[in-house]
Every structure is written in C-alpha cells, then in structure tokens.
Amino acid sequence: MPRRFSHLDRQQQVSDLRDTLYDVLVVGGGITGAGIASDAAMRGLKTALVEKDDWGAGTSSKSSKLVHGGLRYLEQLEFGLVMESTAERAFLMKRVSHLVRPLPFTYPVYNTHKHSPWFIQMGMWLYDCLALFRNHRNHKRLSPKQVAEREPLLKQSGLKAAMYYYDCITDDARLTLENAMAAHNLGATVLSRMEVKSLASQEDGTSLVTVWDAWEEQEVQVRARRVVNAAGPWTNQVLKAEQRPQTEVVRPTKGVHVVVPREILPVNSAVVVNSPRDGRIAFIIPWEESIAIGTTDTDYDGSLDDVRTTREDVEYLLEAIRTGFPEASCTEDAIISTWAGLRPLIKDDSDNPYNTSREHEIIEDKDGIITIAGGKLTTYRKMAEECVDKVIGSLGKLAQPSKTSTRKLTLPGAENFQFRKDGEKTINNIVGTTEIPKVAAERLVTRYGARWKAIMEGANNHELLDPEGRVLKAEVSYAIEHEMVGGIEDFMLRRTHLFYHLNDQGLHAGEWVVEQLQNAFGWSPERTQEERDRYGELVSANRSWKEGK
C-alpha cells in the first residue's frame, strides 16, 4: 500500500531516512525547500526534505499572500525581477488556479504624490508589457468619481486618479504543503518535526546530517551527497550547525499584518495606501472573510522562533489606514489577530530594509552544501529550478536526471481540476446538493482543489467545526490522515485560518480538533493537555502587543 502523507505512516518514512543514501537532502519545509524537493524528485533525484516544525510554519505562512509581479520593483528599476515574477504569476494562475487566484487592486494617486497620474500610468503600461500582456486583465485608469463609486470609504480629497490592476492572492501555507505533497508523491522522503542539528562532511564526499526527530524524540543520522540549506530566516543558524566561518548570509526583516472584520473596512479590491510616517506602501487586502492589512518592514535581531507583533507595528499600520480611509473606524479594538514573519533577505549594507533587494542567491561551497536565500513566494518555482540545476551540476556523473521541468508538474489539488473552469460550478453543486453553507463550500474548493471530493466522500456528515460555518469537521480527520497534521496549531493556523478569523482565535472550535488528535495518535490525557496549553500560549502571544507600550 502506498504510504500516506501522514504522521500515521511516519515510522516507515523515518526508516527510509535512516537507510537511504540521498542525492540531495533539503533542509527547511517552507516554500523554497518544498519547491526544491518537488523539483528534485521530479527530475529523478533521490530526495529527502526535512522540516523542523510544520510545512510553511516559518515565513511561508506569514507573507502578504500575494503572487505578484512586483509593481514597486519598477521604481527600483529591477525589470528582470518583474519579468520573472509576472511570468511565474501567469504560470501559477493557470496551473494551480485553486490556490492562485486573480485579485483586483486600486492604487490611488493624490496631489501629494511625487509622480503625476500620467507618469504612474506609464509605469502601469510597462508592468503590463513586462508581463507580456499575460495579466488576468490589463490595468485601467479610474477617475476620482469612478474611485468613489468603487471604494466609497477611500479618502477622496486631493485624489487625482487611481490605477486599477490585477495581481493574485494565494494561500501561502497550502502552496507550500502541496509542493511537499508533490515531492512525497514523486517518491521523496518528506518529514516534518525533524530538525537538522549538525552537518559533517565525510571523506567519501557525502554529508552526515544529524537530525532531531521531535515526534519520536530520537536522533536520526542521514546520509546525502548534497545538502541544500533552504532554512529561510534560520539559514545562518544552519550554516553555524555546519561550523562555517561564513555564517551571515541572511538579513531577517520583520513584516507584520493585522486582521480586521470585513465590516470595518469594506473594500471591494485590495487597496494600496501610503504610510504617513515613511511613505512606504501598505496593502488593505480582502482575505477570505476578513481584511488583512500589511506590512511593516524593520530589521530584526530577536528570537527567530518567537517573532511577535508589537504595539508600534500595529500603530504604524493603523496610521496608514487612517490616512487612506479617514472615515473608517479602524481602531485597535477592531483587530482580531495579527501575524509577524521574517523575510530571509540577502544581507547587504543598505540602511533601510525596505530597499534591500528581494532577489535570491544560491551559494555553493566545496563540501557539497548549497545555500539558497532571498527571493519570494511568487518566484519559488524558478528559484527551485535554478537550485536543482546547481545540485545536478555539482553531482556530475553521480546523477542521471530526467529532462523534465516543474512547468509540467501538476500539484495534487490541480489533478484534473481547474478552478478557473470548474470552480464556480463545483461550489454551486455542493451548495445545491448538501446542507453545506456557501462559505464552507467555497473554502472547500479553494483550499483543496480536486481533493474536495475525497473529504466529502470520507465524511459521515457535513457538520461544521466553527460557528461561522467556514470549516467542516470532516476536514480535521482528512488533515490528520492525508495532510500530515500533527498538532492543533497546524490545523488552526495553516490547514485552515480559523486562528486568524475567529474572535476567540479558535480556542472553542479547537477543543474538537484536540480530541480528534488524541484519538488518532493515542495521546495520554497529559499529552493532550500539553497540546491545549501550547495553543493557549500561542493565542496569548498573539495578543501580547496589547500589553506593550
């Protein structure tokens, strides 16, 4: 029987990890590592992927969730990056259409703007051109009257025009998860809760990697011909584990988002606002049933494992909203939740993190360790391709890769399913033939793509987990059996977003999830209580900014 992508089949995978000599071991299950693992496995390399926490638990679940061409990079004249990003956006929009969907943006231009609307529009034309007109739709210029009709709460005084254009919104954690699943389906050994502790080069040219298995509480030794360090903000730490003198590749910068209910800021598109403090842009993003507002961009030197939102971050974002939406009553009290992530940017000397390039770098050292850092979610596939090319080049005759490309890879949720074509019909069909409310049906189809059927087929009933009806109880057992969920946090934050959308951060709904986990994994009452307590601490940590000055 094929192994499931599940902790229920974990022991066998750990044995594989122990017994195999891998062509490549990828460290870090964020989008970068998961993308590399799926690419390497597709090209026939014996591949392992280890993640110390859950898939996407690092930065890759804390982005702005935009798959974008990078309009602001035009200002920095990074045309190559824009071209690459728009090409990847077009590809993902077509191939993973349940997870990468078009989102309209409104970019208002006021009389205080350093450029005229005419100049900005030239930039928009360039943006469309560099995308080779493969946007969802080309941009439009709106008059102040048209803006007032579409976004009535947006500040009108001094408004000269607005640009209306499309980028895409995604589910970053699920894009990561589906890449890890794809790697698994292609034969890679893919394990979460496995932390690389040390790396040592062997005389035969392989690396011996010591990994801590937090699930079984044991040490495992892994052998690999090449190791890819894709540890995002932890890249420097992994380099230290290898005892390298060159340990500072990454400059982590913190980005915060706050989440408010739709009624507070009922926008009809994502809206670009400028911070009155430093002129940086922030986005007001319609995100599922809520509005996400972000982001900040500040240097960070705190703990990589406990990145928190501060009161100062919140004030910065609220100030930007008040400037763009003076009539909206968006105060601290309206905030349901926040998230804070670290950009693993390539270290440079610029004073301002906002100006640090978003380009990626791949650094190969002579002992078979390849480090990849920087870049962004949007370009993960291209970055992975380049990195695997490097791995193959370095393996030389040891590898006989097949000539294929992840341009041909179908992620699990896109197997025989195109949301663009089938999505609406499928949602209507679920709503018409079951008791499932529209919002849950929409989430089911956008979260799982083609896999929505498996959840429905495996369900005894269609009971809902949360009071607002976004998630089915059946999703919990599916996530345990088929999505490698190993704790309540995995489910509430990354398989679904109940933590972010619900006022109690899912403390109530989470009780049922804990019970299912206890049954599935045979947890003792003490272990189950530990899980509850940990989640409670996470909820408190998410609110800790309220106590700050």
Residues forming contacts to ligand FAD in the complex (CB under 6 A) are 27-33, 50-53, 57-60, 62-66, 68, 195-196, 230-234, 238, 255, 295, 341-344, 375-378
The continuous run of DSSP H or E covering 4 comes out as none
DSSP 59-117: GGGSS--EE---HHHHHTT-HHHHHHHHHHHHHHHHHTTTTEEEEEEEEEEETTSSS-H
Instruction: Tell the smallest beta-carbon distance from residue 54 to ligand FAD (Å).
Output: 8
DSSP for 124-148, please give it: HHHHHHHTTT-SSS--EEE-HHHHH
Least distance between ligand FAD and beta carbon 160 (Å):
27
Compute the least distance from the CB of residue 511 to ligand FAD, in Å. 27
Report how far residue 279's alpha carbon sits from residue 326's, in angstroms, rounded to the nearest whole number: 17
CB 497 within 8 A of CB 259: no
Other C-beta atoms closer than 10 Å to the C-beta of 300 total 18
**Strand 270-274 with 369-374, pairing:** unpaired
Identity of the residue, 253 or 426, whose beta carbon is nearer to ligand FAD in the bound complex: 253
State the minimum distance, in angstroms, from the CB of residue 85 to ligand FAD: 8
- Looking at the Cβ atoms of 147 and 238, the one nearer to ligand FAD is 238
Shortest distance (Å) from residue 271 CB to ligand FAD = 15
**Least distance CB 118 / ligand FAD (angstroms):** 28
The residue (of 59 and 206) whose beta carbon lies closer to ligand FAD is 59
User: Shortest Cβ distance from residue 248 to ligand FAD (Å)?
Assistant: 16
Calculate the alpha carbon distances from 152 to 99, 148, 496 in Å.
29, 5, 31
Q: How far is the CB of 376 from ligand FAD (least distance, A)?
A: 3
Q: How far is the CB of 172 from ligand FAD (least distance, A)?
A: 6
Which residue, judged by CB position, is nearest to ligand FAD in the bound state?
A: 30
Nearest to 367 by CA among 126, 134, 202, 139: 202
Give the pair of three-digit tokens for residue 543.
Answer: 């609110």
Nearer to ligand FAD, 193 or 473 (CB): 193
Identify the burial level of 174 via C-beta atoms within 10 angstroms of its C-beta, where 0-12 means exposed, 13-18 middle and 19 or more buried.
buried
Q: Which of 136, 150, 140 is nearest to 69 (CA)?
A: 136
The tokens of 442 are what? 């929409």
- Smaller CB separation from ligand FAD, 120 or 238: 238
Q: Residue 219: helix, strand or coil by DSSP? A: strand
Compare residues 67 and 445 and give the one whose CB is closer to ligand FAD: 67
Burial class (CB in 10 A: 0-12, 13-18, 19+), 263: exposed
Nearer to ligand FAD by Cβ, of 186 and 258: the residue is 258
Question: From the CB of 380, what's the least distance to ligand FAD, in Å?
Answer: 7
C-alpha 297, offset from chain centre: 17
Q: Is 49 exposed, middle or buried (0-12, 13-18, 19+ CB in 10 A)?
A: buried
Q: Give the residue with the Cβ less far from ligand FAD, 212 or 523.
A: 212
Q: Least distance (Å) from ligand FAD to the CB of residue 137? A: 20
Count other Cβ atoms within 10 Å, centred on residue 435: 10
CB nearer to ligand FAD: pick between 32 and 477? 32
C-beta closer to ligand FAD: residue 194 or 265: 194
Comparing CB distances to ligand FAD, the nearer of 30 and 108 is: 30
Both tokens of 139, joined, read 């941009």
